[in-house]
Every structure is written in structure tokens, then in C-alpha cells.
Structure 1
Amino acid sequence: MAVRASDVSRIPGRRTRPGPPSETPPGKPMVSWFDPAVLVKSGLKALLSGTFGRQADRRLLDAVSQPQKLAFDYSLDASKHPRDELWLDYVSDLGDGWDSTYAVASTVMAPELELTDDSGRTHVTRGGDVLVFGGDEVYPTASVEEYQARTVVPYEDALNRRRHRPHLFAVPGNHDWYDGLVSFTRLFCQGRFSSGWRTQQRRSYFALKLPHGWWLLGTDMQLESDLDAPQVRFFQKVAACMEDTDRVILCNAEPAWIKQQVMPHAGRGFLDNNIDFLERKVLGKKVSIFLAGDLHHYRRHEDADGRQKIVAGGGGAFLHPTHLPKVDRRPGGFELKECYPPQRTSQRLTWRNLLFPVLNPWFSAFMGVIYTLLGWGIAANLNEGAVGAPSFREVINAALQSTGSLVLGAGVVLGTVAFADGRRGPLWKKAAGVVHGLAHVAAALLLTWGVSAIAAPLAAELQWSLRRDFLSGLLLLGGGALVGPLVVGVYLLLSLNVFSCHPNEAFSSLSIPDWKNFLRLHFDTEGQLTVYPVGFRRVPRKWKRGSGPEDPVWVPDPADTRATPPRLIEPPIVISRTKALPVKPETGPPGPMVMMEDEHPPGGAV
């Protein structure tokens, strides 16, 4: 797909510059996570945001400077009458490549959507009156320009006045925090105009009062997975407004029930304890539905009481595997009911890492340079007075005599140890890192041996005037760009499919835009909640301008015959209107509610 740079003038609150319409979508390709420039930029931003975030928590400042309504009331219509029904869409982990993000956005923004399940039954759904972004609204790091190109423009073009603008609420994820939440606050918490949505919140956390005794709470766990004191007090006040029979949908940026499995040696983490804290000490009742993203796939767990824990992080970011972490059963009696893509498919997709050199060209070039630096000094030593091809023992002896190669080889091993996955413990991390690093050193020595064997006759045959050392360097650069990333690809393939490690790295290297998903929630006239999990097996790769008045700006090109329409991942999940299960608060019920300025629940018309 041809792409062009986004027009920064389209940032909400700025006037769009007139110009001739383009015939190519104004998007960006999927983030190449193994691009050295992306790695350095993302790493620095993560380091800085983590350092300053601990010292200057923006949530504490917003609690003082940004008064917010205690609850946005969608249980009433514009006439202040009880609302019979409500449609709500949940999209998480969006703002990556154009194809995947826009495919989801154009479906979410459609006035009506017919969905077919595996049995062939058709379900007619409506576009949500409320839209919730569940975390990580942009990749790779937060900035005004990235939000504009990867999030704002796709949703504006997808809506294109086809229906009313939904009310938008956003939960921040770790990628939103990489600039200290500055861009997130500007886009979602200041009431800026956008033709794709209408923002309501003034802080990074919120509460929605929904029809028939349902509530949706959106939290902000920052980078340290903790709840700040003003946020706790805020949700205590919200809990004081709830009836005993009310039911809660809790939206976190990360799924604690799976994250604790990632690092089993660390025990229960802050995020998992915070969920217990919210249920026991703040809400005084068990959460009926947990929604989270962060993992870019669909996975649903259910307990015997019908409580749901759903991961739906398929709003546009690269695909994550479903066969790791292995979480068929979770504490509390939760059992895995469905995952998308299926685990066997996820295992097969991992084999694409054998194409690592092709999928990550800039990283391949970087590895070519590393291998050249490792082997060039060795080749130069071998070239001095060499007659014929050297033996491999001579290559090793030359390597031991090259100080630069020894230092760089040690650096490679240290780097791979730092890169290794620590979920199996520190000893495993060191062992896996050393093996990976030594594999690179061995591959570089073998490559140097082969280059030294062919460089002299090749140079003589072509009658080059350049020295043999220069030809050796060229061959090492090309060979290293192929062999080095291939070693990384094999390492990631074995790590994930054999040793159950590196799920993030093994799939971020692939940048798969397919297998996307979002959730459509329907609160009906009987108070029953139906969750429609919508999946996209293969998103379109080609687009053309829409021609009809009810079309979005861009529609799939019929020439892209491999694209598949959205359909239900599994049959709709029906949750009857029953009383929420109580838990005994450990510190007594919340104190009396103290209303802040402008906290009175409105009669929110959508």
C-alpha cells in the first residue's frame, strides 16, 4: 500500500489546509520494532518517562487542576428519561499501521453492521453511541504527530459523517505514557474538536453510568501499575453512588490475570493486587466483566458464575501469540473459553521468523555492520602473507589475536544476555543469552572463514585493483546482513515454540496486521448485556476512495480478493441482569461522598 505523510494541520483544534484530494490513504505502515532507530527512540522515551513519571505523576496534578464529573450518565436520554438500550464499542491497542487501524475504525464507525457466526446465523448490530479506547492509543511512542497520523486521521476518515460522532473515552496505556501523558491529555482530556468523535473526560480515568444498573470504570495504572490516592478517592465516591444490584465493567490497560503468569517468579504484582483492592476496599462487589488490551489478540476466560475476563487488544497493533502465556485456567475458577487466532495457528505463524532478514531490513543492515566489524580484523590478519584458503583453526587463532574482535564479541554476548527473556528465572536468562550470543560469534567466525576462502581467487579473477581486505569487508557485510538476522529469527522461533519465551519479540518482529478484533456491547431493554466479539481474519491491503454518500473516505479495493469481511469470533456472550456478587470490604464501606466541583452526574445525551 502506498502511503503519504500525514497532514499535521488536521490535529484536532487546527484548521485543515485545503488541497487536491489524494488517491492514496494518508497513513503509515506498521511500526518496524526491530528498526534500530525505533528501538533507540522507544527505549530512551521509556527510560525517561519511567524516571520522571516516578517523580512527577501527572495524575496527581490533574486531580487538582482538572475537575471532572463524578460519572458521565448514559442511563438517561436527552429528555432525562431512562434510556431503554445503549450500544458501546470497545477498541484497544490501536494507532499502528494504516491497514489494520483503518479496517477496524471503518467497521466501528459504520452505522450498522451485520455479523455472521460459525453457525451461519446473522446478527444485526448498531454503531456505538459510546466509544471506549482501552489503552495504547498510538505506537511506537506518544507524540502529537503520531497520534494525528495513526489514530485521529483513520477514525475521522472512517466516520465521514456517516452517523453521529460517538462520545469517546480513553484509558491510557504504557505507550501513551511515554511522553508523560502530555499528548494523551491534549487529545482526549481537553475537549478538542475532532470530526471522528466527541471527547468528554478531563482526567485519565473515568466512570460511566449505563442503563439498567450497569457501570463502566476506566482506570489509569500509569507505568508502575499502581492506583494513586486521588484516583482511589474518586472511585470510592463512584462506588457510593451504586446500588447493591448494580454491575461493574472494569477497563484496565493491562490484563492482570495473564500478566502475573508472564513473570511467575515475581509472585503477584501490583496490578493484580490493585484489582483485588478495587473490588474489596473500593467497590465492595465483584466486577462482572474485566476488559483489557495490551496483548494484541482476543482471549476470554469465564468462571462458574458467568463473570468474564476478556482481552481484546486487536485495534490495529501487531499480532501477539495466543499459545503463550499458557493460561487455560486462572485463579478464581476462570477457564479459557476462546482465543483468536487459535493456538495452533499462532504456533504456525511463529515460523515466519525464518524470514526475519526480509521482514526487518534495517535490523539486517545493522547486523551486517556488526558481523563486518567482528570479522574484518580477523580477515585482515589472515590476509597477511596468506597462500590459499585458511583452515578454521587459523581463523580462531586470528580471532584470539584481534583485540577489537574479542571486545566486540564480548559486547555481543552481553547484549544478548540483556535481550534474553527472564520469565524462567535469572539463570535461564543468562544461559539463553550466552547461547544466543555465542551462536552469533560462531556464525561470524564461520562467515569469516568462508569469506577468506573465496576472497582471494574472486579478486584475482575479476582483476580488481582494490585490496583483498576491502573485498572481504563487502562480503562480510552482505553475508552478515543475511546470517545475523537469521540467527535471531531461529532463536526467537525456538524460544517461543519450544521454550515458551519471548512472545512479544517473536511476534513484534513479524508486524502481522491481521487477526484484528474489537468488542461491541449492547445493553438491551431488559437490562441484559450482549457482547459481540468482532474479528478480522485478514485486513485489506488496498484501498480506494469511497464514491457513495454513505461510504467512508476509503473503502477496500475489490482487487484485494484476499481481504476478509469482519465476522464474529465466537457466538455472542450474553450476560443476564442478575445481582452483582458481593465481597466483604476489608476496611468497611467507603466514607460519605464528597462532590468535587462540576462532579454532578449529567443527563448525558448522546
Structure 2
Amino acid sequence: MKVRELREHAKELDFTPQEQVRWLAPRQLARTAVKAVLAAVFAGYSDKREVQEVLDADLLEAPCGQPDAREIWIDYVADVGDGFDATSSVAWTLAEEELLVPRAIEGTDASPAVGDLRLRRGSLLVLGGDEVYPAASATAYEDRMKGPYRAALPKAADPPLMVALPGNHDWYDGLTAFLRMFTQQRPIGGWQTRQTRSYFCVRLPERWWLVGLDSQLGSYFDDPQLRYFEKHLSANLEPGDGVIVCSAEPTWLESVETNADAFNALHWFDRNMIRTRAVPGSKRRVPTHASVRLWLTGDHHHYARYAERLPGDPPGTGVPAPDSRRRQMVTSGMGGAYLAATHRLPAVLPLPPPGSRLREKDPPVAFARMGRTYPDAEESRRLARGIAVPWSGRWLPWRNLGFAKLAAGLHAGLFLLLCFLFALAEGVLRPVDAVRRAGLDDFWGFGAVCLGVAAALFVLGFLGRLLRRILRRLRRRRGAAPPSGPEVATARTALPPSGPAVATLSQALVALAALAITVAIPFPPSWDGWLVLLLCLALAAFLGAFVGSGVFALWVLSAKGGQVAEWQMSGQSIEDHKGFLRLRIAPGGDLTLYPLVLKTICRDWELRDEPSGGKRPVPTGKPAVRLIEDPVVISRGA
């Protein structure tokens, strides 16, 4: 069965399977934009974290019921709750009691080593943010996240603990649905929830700690949250303890690309909650001699790892050799949402970056991007081009039918406007008369005038932007120089300032081409004027839906950074290439990270009867699981 067939059995399944979100569909864009704006405007006035202090919040422990355990397996997955096929494929893989994974790396020609890796299901499942798309609600959580996960693991003899931190999509309703889903200690299938707030602290075996932070759309950490971590984390840290910090977004990337202060909150938390703690009754702080060994996040729907450069490493931007002493920063957001690009990731992250307010207080530490990302840079570029390639199957109008409809309507309206102006230029009253009586010779002059006006507006806009740049540079010369140099990511260049103007001009050219075609068509004189006008509008709408959308896709593909560049992948809603992290803390204290990928997800399902009387969807075949890169070993001590 396909998803559309499963939807017919929603009552028996107790949830409604959903298709992948089409992010460039106009209705979806508008709905998500409105919720994002409302969340940003009212988050400060309805911050539910402030009232969470009245809820009991104890220190969590894993594995559950095993205080003397010396080993634990942990699963980390982020950006789940999108389309049913992708989300359920990942959920079923997580639910397997044991995975047999070839030691050969995905995408390489290396022959596999003898024997497979045997990776046990995590007794702790960490949801790293954005548990539902496109926006949080009780129904969305039920259909897009809870239903698929409950079907993948209806029950377990030893229920794993599930903890979750909210991402920006969870915050779009003010965190209401998130708190109902994850903080009321109700099971989600065979997984058991225990947290009572939107953040958590878990004591792990071998003196490891797991921390989940809620920064409320990247703004700040509230006082109740800080008091919680002071009590349950800082006060209990001992020298040599290792900490895993989970955040909702990779602010270490944003701090180098767009906002030099984006990482400040996490850096402050590391310095004041983990590396030091306050002495009760005084303002003095003392070192804990504990350290963050691993930063985990999602939000960007790919896999990328940055490793700390040690003092003995050679200079440059090369990939440093594996060393368990290195701190790691890992982005893994492939739990269900569309695949994101990796070919624009910076090679080195200096933290704090140039321009940060914390740069003078702490010397910067460089983190280098490791050799393996998923997708790799070459495949990332190839996949990004799919939005502008009609035969790729991921062309913008194919994957976002609503966008094609909107383009058709806009071009029909633009055609009417141009046709009216052409009629005035030809000295006739009705636009249809201009189409029937005029020839291409008459049209070229009109088209040249339109292009001249557009070019003049373009030049004026360019000169205005150039003047603003000159004025900004004059102001900067009077103050501090902006950060610069090779260590600042090239993504700051974003789009050229003329990008939107080029997009508008290209659509105007498509509309002019539609008018030229209609002028060139020899409509029979006996045809009624209304019929001719309808045919012209239909032609303009057709060209707008496909040619206009195709030209827009080419403009999106030309973007080198910024939000428009993100549309290259989000506009395709790529369902394959999903993955998660499996971690193991072994006796002795070393942590091993296994980055796993499902290159192809399951798209065929069958319904099976449940003892409770309902049904659940079961995959007809198990997706193959592969390693993205060799397992990464991280020692507990710095």
C-alpha cells in the first residue's frame, strides 16, 4: 500500500498518514510564514518556560532502573515528523532490537571488513528538535510523529526512555502541543517519556551527562531553566566528567555565516554551567574540571561533523587525524524532513568567531570540518540542480503543484495588464483587438519600450543599493572594522543585491513572450473575441505554470547563499537519504558515535491486525542501513 491508500484506513490506524510537506506550495509557505511571525512576535509575551518552574523536574537517569550500569546505547534523531514514508522508515530502523551494519562506508568502493557491526537498540532515544512539520499542533503530532513511532514499536519488554527538546517548528504554537506530547509522562508506543519540562538533564553511566537545552527560537535561556541545570548538572559535576549537549540548531555555523553572536548562549552555558559553578552564598566561581565532549544538533537536514583542532595539528584547513581527545560538533537532522545541502559548509569554524562579543573573554578554538558529510559535496551539488531539471522528477512545478498554479494565475493577470497596455499603444479600445489586428512588427516596438522601462528601474535600484553600500562603508571607517579574513564563511555574501530584481525581470520576459506568441497566432476573424481572449489567457497561464516556474527555479539555483539557496533543496522535498546517530558508552568511559544512513526509504506498506483490534502499517522490506563514516571515538576526559 502507498500512503494515499493507508489514509483510507485512518480510523483503524488511529492516525492519518501524511505526505511529505511541499515547502514551496504557496498555501504552505503563507501558513508557515504567518505562524513563524506570530511565534517570533508573541514568544516573549507567552514564554511557557517561565511557568514550567511550578512543575517538578528531577534528574533523569538512563538506562532506566539500572543505576549501576556501566554501558548504554543511545539513539539520536532530529527533524522527524514530516512525510509518513520517511518518518516511519527511520522509526522502524530505530525500533529494531539490533542492527547489523556493514563496516564499509556508504558511497565508497572499499571492500567491507570481515564481519558486520552489531549495534543494539538504544535504551535512550533523544529527539533533537522539530518533532513535527510544518507547525506544531495536537493533530500534527499524532499524524506525523506519534502514530508512526507507535506503529514501529507498539510495546517493549524493557521500554527505552525518550527525551525531546523543541525546535523552531515545535515553538510555532508557543510550545503548547509539545508540552502535552512529551512532558505528561505518557508512553509513545514502546518508548517511555519521563521529562516534565521542555529541557532535560540525564545522568549516564561512566560519569557522562546528557543535556537538552531549550533556547526558545534562539533567544536566551530562562532563569528557571538555568536554576534547573545549576541544581541537577553543575552541582553534581566532578573532575573528568564528560557532557553531551543537545541544542535545537547549529548556532556554531550561524555564528560564522551570518551572526557572530549566535553561539554566545551556548558558549556562556558551557563556561558558566559546565566548566565552572557558583559557590553557594558568594559570587565566586570555581572550576568543575568537566567539559563538553560532544555537541549534537539537528535543524539542518544533513550530516556534518566538526572536530576540535589540537595545539599540535599542522596549520591550514586540512582534515585533522582522528584523536579521541578532540571535542566534536555534529549536525544530524535526517530523521524525516527533506534532505539539505552540504557543499556550502565552511571548512573551519573559529569559536568564538571574529566580531563576537565573547572574542576578548575567551581565546578562539578552531573546529575543522571532517572529510565525510552526507550528502557529500559532489552529490549535494547534483541533487540541488534537480529543482531546475524537468526530467529529474524533482523539478519545482512537479514537486510543488500549488506553486505552478499560482504562477499560472499571476501570469494570466500579468498578460491582461500587458495586453491592455499594448492596446493603448496600438490605439484600440479592446485588448483582444490589439492581439488580432497587430503584427509582430508592431509588437517589437512595444516590447522594446517595456524592456527599456524595466532596465531603467533595474539600474536605478542598483545605483540606490550602491549608494547605501558606500554610505555604510563611510560609517564603518569612523568605527571598528568589520570582521574579515579567510576564517569568515563565504556564505555571508548570500544573494547578490540584484537577485529579486532579476527574478522579477525574468518573469516579465516570460509574460512578454506569451504576448508575442498570441500576437503572432493568426486567429480566424470569425472567432468571437471572448473565445480568443480565453485562449490567450489559457496560453499565458500554461507558459506561466511551466516556463515561468522553470525560470524561477533557475533563479533559485543561481543563489549562492541565504534563504533562497535553501529553497534549492526544500523545494524538492527529497524523501530518501534519511539517517540518525547511534552512540555507545562503553565500560571505561569511551563514547563511540556511529552515524547511520538509509539511502532509500520504504514506500510500500501492508496492514497487519493488532491484538487490540486495530491495525498497523508494516514495511514490506527493511531499508538498508550503512555507515556514513568510520565510527568516531570520543574520550570522556579533555
- The verdict on a shared fold, with TM-score over 0.5 as the criterion, is yes
Q: SS in structure 2 opposite 1:333?
A: strand
SS at match of 1:261: helix
Residue type of the alignment partner of 2:271: R
* Residue number in structure 1 paired with 2:267: 276
What CA deviation, in whole Å up to 9, does each residue of 1:157-185 have, x standing for no partner? 11133654321100100000000000000
Return 133-142 or 189-198, whichever deviates more: 189-198
Aligned counterparts, 1:460-539, within 5 A: 466-496=530-560, 502-539=564-601
CA-to-aligned-CA distance 1:380-422 (integer Å, 9 cap, x gap): 5253354253344344389699xxx99xx99xx99xx9xxxx9
How many pairs are equivalent? Answer: 535
Structure 1 residues 164 and 6, CA, compared in 2 at 3 Å: closer, same or farther?
A: farther
Paired with 1:493 and 1:347, the residues of 2 have a C-alpha distance of: 10
Does 1:99 pair with 2:93? no
CA distance in 1 between partners of 2:7 and 2:569 (Å): 27
In structure 1, the residue matched to 2:375 is: 341
In the alignment, which residue of structure 2 is the partner of 1:431? 498
Structure 2 Cα separation of the partners of residues 105 and 7 of structure 1: 22
CA distance in 2, matches of 1:8, 1:311: 36
Q: Distance in 1 between matches of 2:549 and 2:380?
A: 21
Q: Which amino acid aligns with 1:363?
A: F
- Give the letter for the 1:228 counterpart: D
Which residue among 69, 77, 82 is the counterpart of 2:68?
82
- C-alpha distance in 2, partners of 1:165/1:7? 31
1:298·1:314 contact (CA, 8 Å) conserved in 2? yes
**Aligned pair partner of 2:628 in 559, 569, 589:** 569
In the other structure, the counterpart of 1:378 is: 418
Out of 366, 370, 373, the residue aligned to residue 406 of structure 2 is 366
**Which letter does structure 1 place at the counterpart of 2:329?**
K
Q: Which residue of 1 aligns with 2:112?
A: 120
Q: What is the 5 A alignment of 1:548-567?
A: 553-557=616-620, 564-567=623-626
TM-score for both structures, normalised by structure 2:
0.78
Equivalence map 1:81-480=2 (5 Å): 81-118=67-104, 119-121=111-113, 122-161=116-155, 164-237=158-231, 238-263=233-258, 266-269=259-262, 272-284=263-275, 285-303=290-308, 304=310, 305-331=325-351, 332-337=365-370, 338-354=372-388, 355-380=395-420, 381=423, 382-385=431-434, 386-391=436-441, 392-396=443-447, 424=492, 430-454=497-521, 456-457=522-523, 466-480=530-544
Contact preservation (8 Å) 2:241, 2:291: no
CA RMSD of aligned residues (A): 3.1
Are 2:55 and 1:66 equivalent residues in the alignment? yes
Matched, 1:33 2:23: yes
Residue 175 of structure 1: SS of its match in structure 2? helix
Taking structure 1 as the reference length, the TM-score comes to 0.82
Amino acid at match of 1:342: D
Shift of the 98–163 alpha-carbon distance from structure 1 to 2, 3 Å rule, reads farther
> Shift of the alpha carbon at 1:316?
0.3
Q: Which moved more, 1:346-355 or 1:219-228?
A: 219-228
Matches of 1:210 and 1:298, distance apart in 2 = 25
Q: What is residue 2 of structure 1 aligned with on the other side?
A: 3
The answer on whether the counterparts of 1:105 and 1:154 sit within 8 Å (CA) in structure 2 is yes
Contact 2:348 2:366 in 1 (8 A): no
Could you list the per-position Cα deviations for residues 12-65 of structure 1 after superposition, in whole angstroms to 9, with x for gaps in the alignment?
xxxxx6x4x79xx952111001111111111111111111102221111112x2
Q: Structure 2: how far apart are the matches of 1:297 and 1:442?
A: 37
In the alignment, residue 634 of structure 2 is paired with which amino acid?
I
CA–CA distance in structure 2, aligned partners of residues 289 and 424 of structure 1: 27
Alpha carbons 1:517, 1:535 under 8 Å: kept: yes
C-alpha distance in 2 between matches for 1:172 and 1:517: 19
Compared with structure 1, are the counterparts of its residues 198 and 460 closer, same or farther at alpha carbon in structure 2 (3 Å cutoff)?
farther
Q: Structure 1 114/26 Cα, relative in aligned 2: closer, same or farther at 3 Å?
A: farther
The residue number in structure 1 matching 2:354 is none
User: In percent, how many aligned pairs have the same letter?
Assistant: 32
